[in-house]
Chain A
């Protein structure tokens, strides 16, 4: 059951928004099945309260926050972001949450911390995709992701606890997920239980599974094709009708060019 959330709108993509019914029924969340319609079917009984999110590793004060803290510790913002999937489709979604930097600040990262590692809940009882390799797309669970420290501290890096003015539905990563609008969707890890600051580049799930297809950075880049399809253009999904879609040029960093300075002097075809 989703409850309404109050938030102040801070960042707004000018593009027309995707219908809520599509964004909440077309999901990649292999923990609940590999097809796009499996998560909405299989995740409805998922228990998100109580929830414990741990922040540990290279921090001054390791912190644990509970379900209610997710909605009360920080003032909530609404941000309408474009989301570009590595599969060459995209949506425009209003997220509710707070900057990742604010969350990390709670634990006071040490100066030795260079990377941030994220981990999704591992609970095969609730997540049918984690029960066998076949059911979960060959992924070795728990799902893990990572960011460089400067990426994590960038204002666009957002922890979402809601969408469309309500708490997140389970298929979209309730109760808390990451949203990184300039990176392919698989970086935006869902249902996070642990955030660890570290001095080494953390392993990331899709990179482990197919390193030639999915890199650590996974910045949206129309010039670097996926080995099996082009990333130059994308299909923007707006509604459930066959005609509720647009074909658009994919923009570098998904149009969020303010992050470009994070990657200057880096060969983005090598660090894809």
Chain B
């Protein structure tokens, strides 16, 4: 890989503005699509559309958040790390919206069925577990809580790796056929995880 020797550093306002735009884009995108669906301007079935949009959105955001630290390391661009939390939090928000659409519009608050689907359908169980994990990561993401948790925080947040695998499995199992898309995601995720191989090696004493 191309070696970058000089660390990159930008003015902190650039980071602030870029992070604000990330908020605006991620939030507005979701809101515009939802309002469009409510108004009936989506061709075909809006429920299916919203479920797919939010599900894939959550996966994309999660993968983006996992891309950040390898890129920051490669470019020696430490400030990039500030975007991990933003993208990670939006991944959880999209995933929550995904569940909300499923409960409100797909199963329309039939709680008995919602519960039995979560328990009995492996792909939904897996997705639900991943969502719970993402929520746990989201609520522990503020700096104040991070400080309070000290070393436990990193242990908890390392769960993002198994969680990311679960989200792809959930996507894969939800399809009737045609697995090239989740396969692409899985390969991409494996590459991202490979950058972190040291984390997954057993600790050896020196």
Contacts and interface: CB of A to CB of B under 8 A. Distances in A.
A210 B43 contact: no
A242 B106 contact: no
A134 B182 CA distance: 12
Given A228-B121, A230-B113, A230-B116, A242 B46 contact: yes
Contacts of B176: 87, 137, 210
A36 B44 CA distance: 7
Given A134-B178, A247-B110, A25 B43 contact: yes
Contact of B180 (A134, A209, A230): A134
Interface string A127-145: 0000000101111000000
A89 B45 contact: yes
Chain B contact-residue range equals 20 to 34
Contacts of B174: 228
Interface stretch (A56-64, A68-76, A154-162, A231-239): A231-239
Interface in B17-73: 37-48, 50
B124 to A, nearest CB: 8
A14 B41 CA distance: 28
Interface in B105-130: 105-108, 110, 113, 116-117, 120-123
B44 A37 contact: yes
Interface string A38-62: 0010000000000000000000000
B45 A237 contact: yes
Contacts of A247: 107-108, 110
A134 B184 CA distance: 12
Given A134-B178, A228-B122, A229-B121, A240 B113 contact: no
Contact of A209 (B43, B107, B117, B177): B177
A40 B45 CA distance: 13
B38 A137 contact: no
Nearest to A132: B180
A242 B178 contact: no
A233 B110 contact: yes
A204 to B, nearest CB: 14
Contacts of A230: 113, 116-117, 120-121
A240 B173 contact: no
A140 B106 CA distance: 31
B179 interface: yes
A34 interface: yes
A22 interface: yes
Nearest to B39: A241
Contacts of A229: 117, 121
Interface in B156-175: 173-174
A137 B177 contact: yes
A242 B46 CA distance: 6
Interface centre among B105, B108, B177 (most CB of A within 10 A): B177
B177 A22 contact: no
A250 B123 CA distance: 22
A136 B178 CA distance: 7
A137 B108 CA distance: 29
A87 B108 CA distance: 16
A247 B113 CA distance: 12
Interface in A107-156: 134, 136-139
B122 to A, nearest CB: 7
Contact of A233 (B41, B46, B113): B113
Nearest to A23: B44
Interface of B: 37-48, 50, 105-108, 110, 113, 116-117, 120-123, 173-174, 176-180
14 contacts: A26-B44, A26-B45, A36-B44, A37-B43, A40-B43, A137-B178, A210-B176, A228-B122, A228-B174, A230-B120, A233-B113, A241-B40, A242-B105, A245-B47
Interface of A: 21-22, 25-26, 34, 36-37, 40, 87, 89, 134, 136-139, 209-210, 228-230, 232-233, 235, 237, 239-242, 244-245, 247
Given A34-B178, A247-B107, 12 more contacts: A34-B177, A36-B45, A37-B44, A40-B43, A87-B176, A137-B178, A210-B176, A210-B177, A228-B123, A228-B174, A242-B37, A245-B108
